């Protein structure tokens, strides 16, 4: 089993509720390579309902894009330097801008698949396009700009 | 004390993790009028950390905008018909598109204030601009398009 992007984050950056290995109460989203794209899988618990009980609430969908996007940005930035995460100095990203388009209700009780592809990588800025799907149905799309932390 | 926009939602729409009165585990965000704008206040618990422990995670910020935006859209749409929520047939909104710009880290342990102002209201579509502030500092801004459900 490969190690998730988020599990390479230095300990001081590992507390995120969405994806940090050091947050005991969080979602622990984990992102991996899938060829040239990245992928994360997540099945929301029943408490993360939208207004209507059988639909996922929008905030969780935005959260999944946000955490998968930042992990993926680190993956893409490392590969652009011909190295994998865990090799050499780690690069950690934060969200500058996140846009989510909700195409249709996202069902509860099924595994959701989040995918990211690289759009542009310029200096410390990584721009990605993402999809969130339930089975064969794309429920939401996102575009995100992540920026590498300097420290 | 006025009744929050979200507490006027019909019972079948009241299960949202972010703001539903019928979700026992959720955030229970509550939005109100503040003159021509709307306002919600929320102090995240310590588990909702970002990667760095003293900053709020991005997904929660997006969630607050999403739930405050949908509640506010309902408020704006009712006022545009010269009535308040709770008077006449309820109008319920969902997010079509949400864009969040993260300007700076959002601190933990302080009350966050989310404000929305109406940009345009055309038919079933309500477009709003929002801010999220900690004290005098604006940490994030958002633009959202909400659409009224037809049911």
CA distance A95 to A119: 15
ipTM, 2 decimals? Answer: 0.96
Inform me whether the C-beta atom of residue B14 falls under 8 Å from chain A C-beta atoms.
Answer: yes
Pick A49's closest partner by Cβ from B16, B101, B102. B16
Contact B98 A100 (CB under 8 A): yes
Q: Which of A21-25, A51-55, A124-128 has the lowest mean pLDDT?
A: A51-55
Tell me how far apart the alpha carbons of residues A117 and A143 are, in angstroms, rounded to a whole number. 10
Give A82's contacts (C-beta < 8 A, 6+ positions apart). Answer: none
Under DSSP, the state recorded for A67 is: H
Query: How confident is the model at residue A98, as a pLDDT?
Result: 98
Phi-psi region for residue B15, left (φ > 0), alpha (ψ -120 to 50) or beta? alpha
Query: In angstroms, rounded to a whole number, what is the distance separating the alpha carbons of residues A96 and A144?
Result: 8
- Per DSSP, the residues of B18-76 read TT-TT-TTS----EEEETTEEEEEE---GGGB-SSTTBB-HHHHHHHHHHHHHHHHHHH
Please report the pLDDT score of residue B143 as a whole number: 98
In Å, how far is A35's CA from the nearest CA of chain B? 27
Summarised one tens digit per residue, pLDDT across range A82-106 is 999 999 999 999 999 999 999 999 9
Express each pLDDT in B87-131 by its tens digit: 999 999 999 999 999 999 999 999 999 999 999 999 999 999 999
pLDDT grade for B150, boundaries at 50, 70 and 90: confident
Q: Break chain A into its structural domains and give their ranges.
A: 5-148
pLDDT in tens, B68-83: 999 999 999 999 999 9
Contacts of B31 in chain A (CB under 8 A): none
Within 10 angstroms of residue A137's Cβ, the number of other Cβ atoms is 12
- Asked if A15 reaches chain B (Cβ–Cβ under 8 Å), the answer is yes
The answer to whether the pTM exceeds 0.90 is yes
Cite the DSSP H helix spans in chain A.
58-80
Q: Is A9 on the interface with B (CB under 8 A)?
A: yes
Percent of chain B with pLDDT over 90: 94
Task: Kindly report the nearest CA distance between residue A66 and chain B, in angstroms.
Answer: 6
| Interface touch B57/A63, C-beta < 8 Å | yes
If one looks up domain B5-148 in CATH, what number appears? 3.10.129.10
Collapsing DSSP states into helix, strand and coil, what is residue A4? coil
pLDDT band at A151 (very low <50, low <70, confident <90, very high): low
The dihedrals phi and psi of A119, each to the nearest 5 degrees, come to -100, -55
Q: How far apart, in Å, are the Cα atoms of B7 and each of A51, A64, A105, B29?
A: 12, 27, 22, 10
- Mutation to test the B interface, candidates A56, A57, A97, A101, most B Cβ within 10 Å: A57
pLDDT of residue A150: 85
């Amino acid at each position: 089993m490969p190690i998730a992007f988020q599990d390479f984050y230095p300990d001081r950056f590992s507390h995120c509720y969405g994806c940090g290995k050091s947050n005991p109460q969080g979602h622990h989203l984990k992102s991996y390579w899938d060829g040239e794209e990245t992928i994360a899988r997540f099945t929301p618990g029943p408490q993360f309902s939208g207004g209507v009980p059988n639909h996922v609430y929008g905030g969780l969908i935005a959260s999944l894009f946000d955490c998968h996007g930042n992990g993926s940005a680190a993956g893409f930035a490392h590969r652009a330097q011909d190295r994998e995460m865990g090799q050499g100095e780690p690069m950690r990203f934060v969200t500058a801008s996140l846009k989510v388009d909700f195409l249709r209700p996202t069902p509860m009780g099924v595994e959701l698949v989040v995918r990211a592809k690289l759009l542009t990588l310029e200096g410390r800025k990584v721009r990605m396009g993402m999809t969130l799907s339930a089975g064969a149905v794309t429920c939401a799309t996102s575009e995100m700009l992540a920026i590498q932390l300097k420290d």
